[in-house]
Structure 1
Amino acid sequence: MTELISPFDDEAIERLRQQHRLDRQHVRVLRNRLFKHFRPDAAAVADFPLRDSLRCHALELYRRFDSEVDGATKLLFRTDTGMLIESVILRIATGRTTLCVSSQVGCAAACDFCATGKMGIARSLHYTEILDQVLQAGQLLAAEGGSLDNIVFMGMGEPFHNEANLIKTIQTLTAPDHFNRSPSRILVSTVGVSDAMLRMAQRFPKVNLALSLHSADQSTREQIIPLARRYPLEQLRDTIANCNRIQEREVMIEYLMLSGVNDAAIDIERLTRWLDGLCVHLNLIPYNPIEDAPHLRGTAPERIVKFADAMKSHGVKTTVRYSLGRDIDAACGQLVRKENRAYAMNITEMA
């Protein structure tokens, strides 16, 4: 049986075109309909002469959860290996829509506060699986009469632990003859893989970078982010400064507010010193509790506001992120971890 071809696979599509002597216009129309206009599968491939040779999706949509509070949508996708990943559509009050995509099944960074990190790492996603999250979310929004504005790599996985597929994904997203997305509407978030951050800044200077800092104290950061031992704060600060020079744009600094961990007056002083001279935008994030970290508590809302005011008084551009989708399992990876664990147990029992 002939293996079906993914529309994301440029080499396979070109071989198919040459083999059957197809006009390039057929491929252009297919890509425009799927990648730029997010037409439904049947409508997108309707005029493609070899549509039976195509497999439009690398992922199966397993379940959809819609928030009754703020319009967020969580999409659970099943991979060919049976494991689940998730993407989240955030419909911001300003009218813009952001898609949060996953780059791995699980995550090896093992951050203490993260449900996905408690999963460990199963495998990295192929670029076709990352792109298909964008395609299916885009199709969903288009069917509702909406549009996809921003794409952020803040889902499951550390994006720079899957660097090759991340680069291929961004190349395809920004290619004029594919998705044609503006790189300034793409953001890659990392817990701080310094060398890969610099490579990203050099290769895609208009793509936004975000650093999950969460503490400007080395020992505290190591407690909540084990990877911090490999990439110390001094090295990360130099990396941010270099990214500023290369990109001439702000780097987002993500700071999860944890009660008694990183929200004291001394933490404000440390953070102010660490950020001094850098071109950054500080984003304070309320903590969504997870089952596997009962020892962590979120900072009280009024304390977050005071923290933000203090940072602003020191000249740091600061905002507070208000989480969306709390009623559909706000902790990224929490639901997927339970589903994947059940799946793995079933496979073991069947073996």
Structure 2
Amino acid sequence: MTTAPASTGLFRADEMESLRRALRLDPQVLRKLRNDLLKKFEPDELVLNRFPAADAIELHSLKLYQRMDSEIDGATKLLFETESGLLIESVILRIATGRTTLCVSSQIGCAAACDFCATGKMGIAKNLATEEILDQVVQAGQILRAEDRRLSNIVFMGMGEPLHNEGNVTEAIRLLTAADHFARSPSTVLVSTVGVPAAMLRLAKTFPRLNLALSLHSADQATRQQIIPLGKKASLTQLHDTIQEIQAIQDREFMIEYLMLRDVNDSAEDAKRLIDWIANLRVHVNLIPYNSIEASPHLKASPRPTIESFADVLKASGLKTTIRYSLGNDIEAACGQLIRQENRQRAIAARRTEADCDSHVGFLDVRQVVDGFES
């Protein structure tokens, strides 16, 4: 008699099909399971109670470690623990209009090392697997369902550079938009990058209706490289040409993100330089107030009047421009640092445990992490 595999992963198609065949299940049973969990975000108990072999399936690859709710607005920060024992974060943003956005992570740490980003100070630890990316969506969706809310948008703006984990991010988007999984419109998903031209083009070709955003932050090459070291690998000219090529593929507006840093990129000259760089591109510029982080005390937020003046210059040139408001300020800045410190401590503890037991089993991921966090 054929036995079913133990702990089959929901997003592992081959394993799910093997499970179905082993248990001789009607394909409709798996469709029902996916519909209930991935489209309706029903609670685990309800989903598993309807499944004939609940003990043979694994609904989640992440464990909710901590939840923090803002006391001043509708933001919730979710800290998840991966199977490797490290933490990542996702953020639910409940907009006043009633829409909800989920910000997901694609990596533990980030190699881009942007000067303004707490995650960038961690270094790169590990790419998240496709199922770890998608489980953030599932668990956040379940939280929102319990509040009688619907998940409106998903943005890849959490920990990590999404296009440094291109394969898993692409597969995650494929399943998010697949009719037999989450069945979401690509227009409700946005991927933000600091600029990896070849990968940006591949993503646009694969998902023509997907929203893309570039974290630009300066239209001066030297300034951009100062705050985004990865900017050395792709010039502003190359990024402009890439966006132009993407727009020929997608025929849709491209988002430019611009973090407002006092005396770094917020002068009238910086605004004019940005206008010149955008030139003939069809874009929407988001001006983002900076939330200070402990690891970069030299960076300061631009005053509100400076941001408004900057926006006025852009608008006067005909550019669609929005000044964004930060949500979750009371739970945000310290948390990025918390994860960095917590993960470093966990990595060091695991390394010590490995040395004590003289074993190489189970600690490969943690060893790969240590150098990144200690650099």
TM-score above 0.5, yes or no = yes
- Which residue of structure 2 aligns with residue 66 of structure 1? 69
Matched-pair identity in %: 61
Q: RMSD of the TM alignment (CA)?
A: 1.2
Decide whether the 8 Å contact of 2:62 with 2:135 is kept in 1: yes
- Which residue of structure 2 aligns with residue 138 of structure 1? 141
Q: Match of 2:32, SS?
A: helix
Paired AA for residue 24 in structure 1: P
Give the TM-score normalised by the residue count of structure 1.
0.98
Q: Is the aligned partner of 1:13 residue 2:16?
A: yes
Of 89, 106, 109, 1:106 maps to 109
Decide whether the 8 Å contact of 1:211 with 1:252 is kept in 2: yes
Q: Using the TM superposition, give the Cα deviation of residue 145 of structure 1 relative to its aligned residue in structure 2, in angstroms.
A: 1.2
Q: Using the TM superposition, give the Cα deviation of residue 224 of structure 1 relative to its aligned residue in structure 2, in angstroms.
A: 0.6
- Which residue of structure 2 aligns with residue 337 of structure 1? 340
Q: Is the aligned partner of 1:224 residue 2:227?
A: yes
Within a 5 Å distance, the mapping from 1:176-187 to structure 2 comes to: 176-187=179-190
Within a 5 Å distance, the mapping from 1:17-166 to structure 2 comes to: 17-166=20-169
Within a 5 Å distance, the mapping from 1:132-281 to structure 2 comes to: 132-281=135-284
Q: Match of 1:329, SS?
A: helix
Within a 5 Å distance, the mapping from 1:296-315 to structure 2 comes to: 296-315=299-318
Decide whether the 8 Å contact of 1:39 with 1:142 is kept in 2: yes
Q: Using the TM superposition, give the Cα deviation of residue 136 of structure 1 relative to its aligned residue in structure 2, in angstroms.
A: 0.2
Q: Using the TM superposition, give the Cα deviation of residue 278 of structure 1 relative to its aligned residue in structure 2, in angstroms.
A: 0.2
Decide whether the 8 Å contact of 1:329 with 1:335 is kept in 2: no
Decide whether the 8 Å contact of 1:156 with 1:332 is kept in 2: no
Q: Match of 1:240, SS?
A: helix
Paired AA for residue 97 in structure 1: T
Q: Using the TM superposition, give the Cα deviation of residue 126 of structure 1 relative to its aligned residue in structure 2, in angstroms.
A: 0.1
Q: Using the TM superposition, give the Cα deviation of residue 347 of structure 1 relative to its aligned residue in structure 2, in angstroms.
A: 2.2
- Which residue of structure 1 aligns with residue 297 of structure 2? 294
Q: Using the TM superposition, give the Cα deviation of residue 13 of structure 1 relative to its aligned residue in structure 2, in angstroms.
A: 0.5
- Offset from partner CA, 1:198-245 (integer Å, 9 cap, x none): 101100010100000000000100101111111100000000111111
Paired AA for residue 264 in structure 1: S
Paired AA for residue 138 in structure 1: G
Decide whether the 8 Å contact of 1:156 with 1:333 is kept in 2: no
Q: Match of 1:315, SS?
A: coil
Paired AA for residue 101 in structure 1: V
Decide whether the 8 Å contact of 1:283 with 1:321 is kept in 2: yes
Q: Using the TM superposition, give the Cα deviation of residue 144 of structure 1 relative to its aligned residue in structure 2, in angstroms.
A: 1.4
Q: Using the TM superposition, give the Cα deviation of residue 332 of structure 1 relative to its aligned residue in structure 2, in angstroms.
A: 7.0
Moved over 6 A (4+): none
Q: How many residues align?
A: 351
Give the TM-score normalised by the residue count of structure 2.
0.92
Q: Using the TM superposition, give the Cα deviation of residue 2 of structure 1 relative to its aligned residue in structure 2, in angstroms.
A: 5.2
Tell me, in whole angstroms, the C-alpha distance in 1 between the residues paired with 2:314 and 2:95. Answer: 25
Decide whether the 8 Å contact of 2:86 with 2:343 is kept in 1: yes
Q: Match of 2:108, SS?
A: strand
Q: Using the TM superposition, give the Cα deviation of residue 134 of structure 1 relative to its aligned residue in structure 2, in angstroms.
A: 0.1
- Offset from partner CA, 1:58-91 (integer Å, 9 cap, x none): 0000000000001100000000010000000000
Decide whether the 8 Å contact of 2:62 with 2:82 is kept in 1: yes
Q: Using the TM superposition, give the Cα deviation of residue 344 of structure 1 relative to its aligned residue in structure 2, in angstroms.
A: 2.0
Tell me, in whole angstroms, the C-alpha distance in 1 between the residues paired with 2:260 and 2:176. Answer: 33
Tell me, in whole angstroms, the C-alpha distance in 1 between the residues paired with 2:125 and 2:172. Answer: 20
The range that moved more, 17-26 or 222-231, is 17-26
Decide whether the 8 Å contact of 2:293 with 2:333 is kept in 1: no
Tell me, in whole angstroms, the C-alpha distance in 2 between the residues paired with 1:86 and 1:6. Answer: 21
Q: Match of 1:105, SS?
A: strand
Tell me, in whole angstroms, the C-alpha distance in 1 between the residues paired with 2:277 and 2:232. Answer: 17
- Which residue of structure 2 aligns with residue 324 of structure 1? 327
Tell me, in whole angstroms, the C-alpha distance in 2 between the residues paired with 1:332 and 1:65. Answer: 9
Gaps of 5+ in 1: none
